[in-house]
Amino acid sequence: MATKFDTRQSVQRSLLNEIANKSEFSGTTGGKPANSTQLDNLLTAINESLTLPFILDESTTPDLVLNIGSGNVSNSETSKNNTFSLINNTHFEFTSGTITFPSSSGGSIIVSPGTNGVLTVSSGNFITVLIQMNDSGNLSVKTGTEAASKTLAMNSTNFPVADSGILPIGYVVLNNVAGTIQNVTNDNIYQFKNPTFNFITSSTIGVEKLIINSNGGILYDSNGEFVLKS
């Protein structure tokens, strides 16, 4: 079946083509046509605008390492900066980090910088590992409940519960095949686009237990009945 393109793609392609062929971009810059350089700069700017703080990424050659990018992302074309929201009213500098998973179940998850963990997942099963950041710039991991499929490992029943007072930044789903943990690849990495500081507490007011969850700005009682949404 033929590949179909929508109108938005046509418009964007026309725009890029127009930029690349403008007469004022004639000549050479850095050993390549100036118009090509301008297009390169445009695409670089778009890419940097879409890059999130704490970006999660596979290694250049996929292995058992999950790479965590800087907390500050600068756009080389616009000079604008993107950064993360405050954690416990604290801002800090974070340049990069790594989480190295073991090759087999029962091994240590090496977190740098941060607190190590343990990975336990039976052969043939999948497990979700939540990546978190605290207000000191240290990483930590929370593992969910293993399941027979990737989809099941990510459902609400088996998904790991985030710690309170911490910023969840994304998660990775790992698979144990014949006793070997499979490499971390981008199709198994999930980034939270707008990560929210996780603060959950409860108090008793009269006969009702009210629960405040800053993730959704929702107030509800012990029966799960909606009370107030900010």
Residue 21 falls within a domain, yes or no? yes
Structure-token pair, residue 155: 């459902």
Number of structural domains in the chain: 3
Regarding whether 40 and 110 lie in a shared domain, the answer is: no
Regarding whether 31 and 82 lie in a shared domain, the answer is: no
Regarding whether 26 and 98 lie in a shared domain, the answer is: no
Residues in the chain: 230
Residue 168 falls within a domain, yes or no? yes
Residue 36 falls within a domain, yes or no? yes
Residue 2 falls within a domain, yes or no? no
Residue 166 falls within a domain, yes or no? yes
Regarding whether 61 and 132 lie in a shared domain, the answer is: yes
| pLDDT mean for each 10 residues of the chain (230 residues) | 48 54 55 59 61 86 95 73 75 91 98 97 98 93 98 96 90 98 96 61 40 44 46
Regarding whether 183 and 203 lie in a shared domain, the answer is: no
Range of the domain at 168: 56-197
pTM over cut 0.75: no
pLDDT, residue 3, reads: 54
Interatomic CA distance for residues 169 and 8, integer angstroms:
31
Regarding whether 170 and 65 lie in a shared domain, the answer is: yes
pLDDT, residue 72, reads: 79
Regarding whether 97 and 170 lie in a shared domain, the answer is: yes
Residue 1 falls within a domain, yes or no? no
Cβ burial 161-193 (10 Å sphere, 16+ → b, else e): ebeeebbbbbbbbbbbeeeebbbbeeebbbbbe
Regarding whether 210 and 120 lie in a shared domain, the answer is: no
Regarding whether 184 and 227 lie in a shared domain, the answer is: no
Regarding whether 122 and 180 lie in a shared domain, the answer is: yes
pLDDT, residue 140, reads: 96
pLDDT, residue 67, reads: 97
Structure-token pair, residue 212: 């405040």
Regarding whether 105 and 13 lie in a shared domain, the answer is: no
Regarding whether 171 and 71 lie in a shared domain, the answer is: yes
